[in-house]
Amino acid sequence: MLQSQTYNVVIAKTGLDGHTRGAVSIVKGLRELGMNAWFTGIRRTPEEIAEIAAKVEAHCIGVSFHSGTHLEQMPRVLRTLEARGLHVPLLLAGGIIPSADIHRLLEMGVSGVFTPGASIASIARFIQDRVQLSEASPFTPQRFAPLPLETPFAADHFSASH
């Protein structure tokens, strides 16, 4: 499914959220599809997430939420990455995120939001397509702004700005 380029993906849990099943499943699935994927473990700070992303030269950071802290934690992650000068081409949010909050996450600079039921294949395809569209390698100057998507993925489980 994936083309010749290997993508480096960091999946993180931040704050006091200790639910790992979804994040671990995503990491395993992305690895099976040929991506380099790392799980940070639970209760990581934005600073720890940024450090891990820098070490692996991440093309994508996905932050998984189950605790309802996405609107508080994602701005902290964004500010930390920007303060460190780390311009990762994609920043994703996933997990238990109310549909009413998805637009707010996209407005703050999240590239895409995946909720329960999204297939690992659709997440991998999104990462691949968006990294290729950005024409950016890790850490090139680029804001986390969402790129236009010509064919949206399943609206029930995925959201991105157009």
Second CATH level (architecture) for the domain 8-148: 3-Layer(aba) Sandwich (3.40)
> What is the pLDDT averaged over residues 33-59?
95
**Domain edges within the chain:** 8-148
Is the confidence at residue 162, as pLDDT, over 50? no
- Residue type for position 145: A
The model's pLDDT over 102-115, given as tens digits with 9 standing for 90+, comes to: 999 999 999 999 99
Q: Rounding to the nearest 10 degrees, give the CA dihedral for residues 145, 70, 131, 148.
A: -50
Identify the pLDDT of residue 135.
52
φ, ψ (nearest 5 deg) of residue 48: -65, -40
At 67, which helix (H) or strand (E)? Answer: none
What local confidence, expressed as pLDDT, does residue 3 receive? 53
